[in-house]
Structure 1
Amino acid sequence: MHDALTGLLESQAPVGLATWRSWWDQLADRQIDQAQVLALLASLTSRLPDHQTLRHLLDSLTERRPAPAATTPWEGTVNVVGTGGGPRTFNISTASAFVAAAAGVKVVKTGSRAYTSSLGSVDLLERLGIRLTSSHAHTEDTLAAHGIAFAGPYVYPPQLTRLARTAAPHGMKPFGRFLNALGPFLADLPVTAQVTGVSATAPLDTLRALAATTTTRRIWLVSNDTGADELLPFATNTVHEDTTRTRTIRPGELTPGDGSFGDLRPADPADAPAHFRSVLSGTAGRVATRTVCLGAAALLVASGTRRDWPSAVAVAEAAVRSGAAHDLALRLAAPAAPRPLAVAHA
């Protein structure tokens, strides 16, 4: 049994960087078998380890990434991604990303297919006809053209793919709790800030300690008293800006505080595209509109595009009322215009 697995099972001390390096080396050399991979994933899923073990795990993956072609920071750009879990709703963070982009902030949305829900962000985008980006250059080009981009799996460590292949034919869905909790820290993007919703199923204190040791971007963690991984107008929300600073947003403070999860029900997958467009156009109900505008306001403030929350909410609401958020989604879903045929000249 590898020392990484032994360390996780015994939980007597953090699993060190050298141990994780050895795990990935042996996995690449096929010295780690399926049984050990499944046992490691099961351990990580049943109880997320301490933040030091997770930091060493993340660092061991980061140092193995291929060097990107361009490393220029994307100034003023914010990534939005949640941990999943908690009460089920429509894809709020994805809708908030569109609203924030329509309101003037550059947004990158990362996510996955459904692990703990019926429709993950990638599943929804597929149904909307919106493509994921395939490289940093592709993401930069999409940001320049539309102000928003949906990053594909290239942002995640290739070692996760090797884990999945070794675990096959067992799928990764049973390990969704671990993948959702750590996923927001796995994406490699040169953004300025990141806003991550944390549900009650994720270990908030551990993730806060992990965020404090992340130096490549500013990370805000969002939680509330309902257990959802979103900012909600009818909940008492807490924005954890760092390990010492928090902001509490109470019902009625920035938007009217009435409503419930009944107003945010997830759409049937078959009807999800139409429902999602109605959310962006402001016709899915006042509570849905307030919810996505509150989420968009967090992206506006975290990115530095807006300094105060009330003006950020107002700008987000204007992006919905004007139809800008809805139109942005339509433009991204439209097929690219064919290039004109080259004409040979004599």
Structure 2
Amino acid sequence: MPDPGTLAALFDAAHDRGGEDAVDYPGAVNIVGTGGGPRTVNISTAAAIVAAAMGVRVVKTGSPGRSSQSGSFDVLGGARVRLAGSHTELADMVDRFGVGFAGFFVYPVEVPLLVAEIVPLDLRVLGRFVNTVGPFLARLSVSAQLTGVSRPDDLPALRTLAERRVGQRTWLCHNATGVDELVSFAANWVHEGGSGRGLRLEPSGRGAVADLAPGPDPVADLRSVLSGRARATTVETVCLNAAALAVLSGATTDWGRARYDATEVVRGGAALALLDRLGGDG
């Protein structure tokens, strides 16, 4: 990871060299992780849909998977959910469904150019770096963002990037499992942006990282989670992240109520119905 000054200079250069200006999505919250860590079902995509079914406005950024077909772009494509190709399309998705999924257009064009020019260096190194800082590369403005961090050593650099998001509330979360989202079966630390303030979320259930492992079909995994048929640990973990989006967005301050509401939209079928509506539109 570059030092904070170099990292800030890189972001300044990428944002100054053209492309669309950041568009504001007031009241919306994003959930996007740094990647890395153990392979799991796509928790953040499922949590975004659950949160939207709860009434939280969500604008989700993401990427294709680097080493699997479980990246958000891959899962959404398989489920026939359209990625927005412009801010007009993205705003329309949010207005219609309560959630919108941003395509490549929100990222600086310098990123793929850098990938093309990095040869003969190891592309995996660059990919890991881009994934780590990717949650702050998107050219859009939301009111709040939940970013899971798989490697705590990256927190200082990510705090630097969070501080640059003026007017955005940012939570950086991590846990001892290395999963880059909140997990229901282990303690999670949640840090408020660039500050040293934070809170510890105690585990709320039993389980292990193995319970979050993906199956051979990422779309089937997503539907299984949203219908409540997946392993209890996976459903609880997704609902915990959806609850965090509700709290972070300001929709509620009651974590217990938020988790209950997330569980209810899964059990009652609203989350899966929303996925079907999104897929029908695609």
TM-score range, shorter chain: over 0.9
Task: Please state how far the C-alpha of 1:171 moved relative to its aligned partner.
Answer: 8.8
Q: Between Structure 1 and Structure 2, whose CA radius of gyration is higher?
A: 1
Q: Once the two structures are aligned, what percentage of the paired residues are identical?
A: 47
Task: Please state how far the C-alpha of 1:298 moved relative to its aligned partner.
Answer: 1.1
2:278 matched to which residue of 1?
332
2:112 matched to which residue of 1?
161
> Is residue 116–residue 176 contact of structure 1 (8 Å, CA) maintained in 2?
no
Runs of 5+ unmatched residues, structure 2: none
Counterpart pick for 1:198 among 134, 143, 149: 149
> Is residue 181–residue 202 contact of structure 1 (8 Å, CA) maintained in 2?
no
- Give per-residue Cα distances to partners, 1:286-337, cap 9 Å, x unaligned: 211110000001111111112221111111111111111101111111146x
Shift in CA distance, 263/194, structure 1 to aligned 2, threshold 3 Å? same
Q: Distance in 2 between matches of 1:122 and 1:232?
A: 22
Q: Give the 4+ runs in structure 1 shifted more than 6 A.
A: 168-171
CA RMSD of aligned residues (A): 2.0
TM-score (norm 1): 0.77
Task: Determine if the alignment matches structure 1 residue 308 to structure 2 residue 260.
Answer: no
- Give per-residue Cα distances to partners, 1:77-103, cap 9 Å, x unaligned: 011110011121110111101100000
Runs of 5+ unmatched residues, structure 1: 1-47, 337-346
Asked which structure has the greater RCO (Cα within 8 Å, sep 6+), the reply is 2
Question: Which runs of structure 2 are paired with 1:1-346 in the superposition (5 Å)?
Answer: 48-68=1-21, 71=23, 73-167=24-118, 172-200=123-151, 203-242=154-193, 243-252=195-204, 257-268=205-216, 271-335=217-281
Size of the aligned set, in residue pairs, is 281
Deviates more, 1:191-200 or 1:207-216: 207-216
Instruction: Report SS of the residue matched to 1:204.
Output: helix
TM-score (norm 2): 0.93
- Give per-residue Cα distances to partners, 1:56-109, cap 9 Å, x unaligned: 2112211223344x84x3221011110011121110111101100000111111
1:27 matched to which residue of 2?
none
Instruction: Report SS of the residue matched to 1:52.
Output: helix
Q: Distance in 1 between matches of 2:152 and 2:160?
A: 17
Instruction: Report SS of the residue matched to 1:134.
Output: coil
Instruction: Report SS of the residue matched to 1:240.
Output: strand
